[in-house]
Structure 1
Amino acid sequence: MIGVILAAGMGTRLMPLTKEIPKALLKINETTLLERMIKNCIGADITKFIVIVGYNRDKVIDLCPEIAEKYDVEIRTLVNEQYDVTNTSVSTFIASSLIGENPEDFILVNGDNVVDPEIILRIAECPHTGMIIDNFKELNEESFKIIIDDETFNEDKSISNGNINSIGKGLDIESSSGEFIGVSKVIAGDIAQFNEILSKLIDEDPQNYYDFAYKDLSNVKTIDFVLTNGLKWTEIDDHRDWEIAQNLVMELEKV
């Protein structure tokens, strides 16, 4: 299994913290977000990584060999040359099209996430293509919401299945099943169709999020919606999120 980490974005809402570095190199407890996510993935027995870089790419490219040596893992960096005029669909496709040449399961994570390590374990262990869905957090207008049709749950209510009716920020909060947190998995047998859908999304609008690809994929493949059931996480979009992330790391690492 491969860990794909998206770290190409500019992080403009975090200026001046991101004036010289991308978000993935911000440090909490002297550890970058990138290294912390790689450590989480190593805990799920992932030892091969692809990091998609763009903004201030050289600083990430220079750091990756140090992380690789420190943890005895393989890290390959790929560049999204159009990071400033595209979105995560393009960054994802750069990695997934390469993986598709020799298909292998991969976990896809946003480089600006801080998560309970158990979240990575859960997505790694799910048998199908899967998405981590927060079913506890109070949703708001900025939440990347998901509506799942004909949702059915497994015995312990940790995973559900169904078709994705809609996904995005503009959905009705009351109708939503939860929030997609930017942690997902694509199994080897689904990569070809995932890439076809991604390619169409990019043709429609290179500013599309990769998240939308799962909607069409859910119509033809089984997707596991792996529930957080209270496990904590945060994305880091702005300064308020940055404060939340620092507090969350202190809690998770019991500092």
Structure 2
Amino acid sequence: MNLVILAAGKNTRLDTGIPKSLVKLNGETLMSRHIRLFKKYGVKKFCIISGYGAENLEQALPELKSTHQVDIKILHNKRYDLENGFSVFRAKDWVEENGMKDFFLTMGDHVFDPEFIGEFVEKSAKLENTLQLAVDMPGESNKHIDIDDVTKVLVDDHDFIESIGKTIDSYNRYDTGLFRLKSDVFDVFQQSFDREEYTISQSVSKLIASKQAKSVLVEGYTWNDVDNPDDLQSTIKLMNESRL
């Protein structure tokens, strides 16, 4: 199993001068935490997509490799001014060169309870869709989530995604930022780029019509998106409460 980690964003809302994935929480960077936890659940190769502050990630690479003893590749996205779907596409050659049939994808500024990751790894192995998205049910375990910023998802009774976006009115799940994708998903991203659509959600929308976008409910665990100073403080609080 292999993981792509997006870490190219410009950090406009949490500008510490370094990529958000290198922010330390309880003495460990978000990037190091990702590698440690996903390694625990069987991921052997990691591809980090850099952009803003790429030199900081390059400087951190030797220590990440030494600490975790895994294969880590950094690929630079020069067009990090575009949306996150373009960063996903930057991993295409890495996926093909390594002969991967599928791969995991997450964001460098997200934080997951370890058991959340383990449950998604197990559940997603049983499905055959091009895209599988870990979703959560709105409830007590995620009441700290910024409702204005979280990507919302509407799924049907069979867990197929019907719509996705930050501003949709009707929804019953939250997008947690963790995916399992088949390698042919890059064809869909290219179709989106041809229409100058660069978000992951826009490419997911293209898979909805063909019933190739499915949700995987991972409920009852804590996760967060460290996108701004409030998110950073809420994540620290959750860690101090042993919820992450």
TM-score bracket, shorter-length normalisation: 0.7 to 0.9
Q: How many residues align?
A: 233
* One of 203, 212, 215 as aligned partner of 2:205: 215
The question of 1:248 aligning with 2:238 is answered yes
The reply on whether 1:166 has 2:163 as its aligned counterpart is: yes
TM-score, with length taken from structure 1: 0.84
In structure 2, the residue matched to 1:98 is: 94
Distance 1:148 1:181 in 2: 14
SS at match of 2:55: helix
Instruction: Give 1:137-148 correspondences, 5 Å limit.
Output: 137=142, 140-148=147-155
Q: 1:67: Cα distance to partner?
A: 1.1
Tell me whether 1:66 sits opposite 2:63 in the alignment. Answer: yes
Note if contact 2:152-2:168 (Cα within 8 Å) is conserved in structure 1. Answer: yes
CA distance in 2, matches of 1:30, 1:11: 21
SS at match of 1:231: coil
1:8-27 to 2 correspondence within 5 Å? 8-15=8-15, 18-19=16-17, 21-27=18-24
Displacement, 1:43? Answer: 1.4
Kindly provide the amino acid, as one letter, of the partner of residue 135 in structure 2: I
Aligned to 1:199, the other structure's residue is in SS state helix
Match of 2:224 in 1: 234
Unmatched tracts of structure 1, length 5 or more: 153-160
Taking the aligned partners of 1:212 and 1:124, their CA distance within structure 2 comes to 24
- Displacement of 1:165: 2.1
Detail structure 1 runs of 4+ shifted over 3 Å in the superposition.
218-224
Matches of 1:97 and 1:197 in 2, distance apart? Answer: 15
SS at match of 2:13: helix
Structure 2 residue runs of 5 or longer lacking an equivalent are: none
What residue number does 2:136 align with? 134
Q: Hey, what's the Cα distance between the residues in 2 that align with 1:179 and 1:253?
A: 18
Report the equivalent of 2:175.
180
Q: Which amino acid aligns with 2:155?
A: I
Q: CA RMSD in A?
A: 2.0
Structure 2 partner of 1:120: 117
Percent identity among equivalent residues?
30
2:96 is aligned with 1:89: no
- Partner SS for 1:107: strand
| Segment of structure 1 superposing worse, 216-225 or 6-15 | 216-225
1:59 deviation in Å?
Answer: 1.1
Contact 1:123/1:130 (8 A) holds in 2: no
